[in-house]
Amino acid sequence: MKKTLLIGLALIIVLLTPACSCSGSNSNGEDGGRSSQSNSSTVKDFELTIYSDKEIYKTTDKIQIWATLVYSGNEETVTIWHGLPSIGFSVSDGKDFHTESITLTVLTSTTLGKGVVYSFPFEKTGVYDNNAPNANFWKKYYSNPDLVLPAGEYTITVTGGFSLSPGAIDIGLSTELKIKVVK
Q: pLDDT value at position 141? A: 95
Q: pLDDT value at position 19? A: 35
Q: pLDDT value at position 82? A: 96
**Residue span of the structural domain in which 19 resides:** 2-182
For 31, half-sphere exposure in the C-beta direction (CA atoms, 13 angstrom radius) is 22
Region label for 36, one of left (φ > 0), alpha (ψ between -120 and 50) or beta (otherwise):
alpha
User: Letter for the amino acid at 168?
Assistant: A
What is the mean pLDDT for each group of 10 consecutive residues in the chain (183 residues)?
Answer: 37 35 37 68 95 96 97 97 95 94 93 98 91 94 95 97 92 96 96
In this prediction the pTM is 0.79
Identify the CATH number of the domain in which residue 172 sits.
Answer: 2.60.40.2360
Q: pLDDT value at position 126? A: 86
Q: pLDDT value at position 127? A: 87
Q: Return d(Cα 78, Cα 161) in angstroms, integer.
A: 15
Q: pLDDT value at position 29? A: 38
**Beta-strand pair 117-121/104-113:** unpaired
Q: pLDDT value at position 167? A: 86
Return the bridge partners of 90, or none: 157
Q: pLDDT value at position 36? A: 79
Q: pLDDT value at position 13? A: 34
The total number of structural domains in the chain stands at: 1
- The answer to whether 131 touches 1, Cβ cutoff 8 Å, is no
Return the bridge partners of 32, or none: none
Q: Return d(Cα 120, Cα 86) in angstroms, integer.
A: 10
Q: Return d(Cα 57, Cα 180) in angstroms, integer.
A: 6
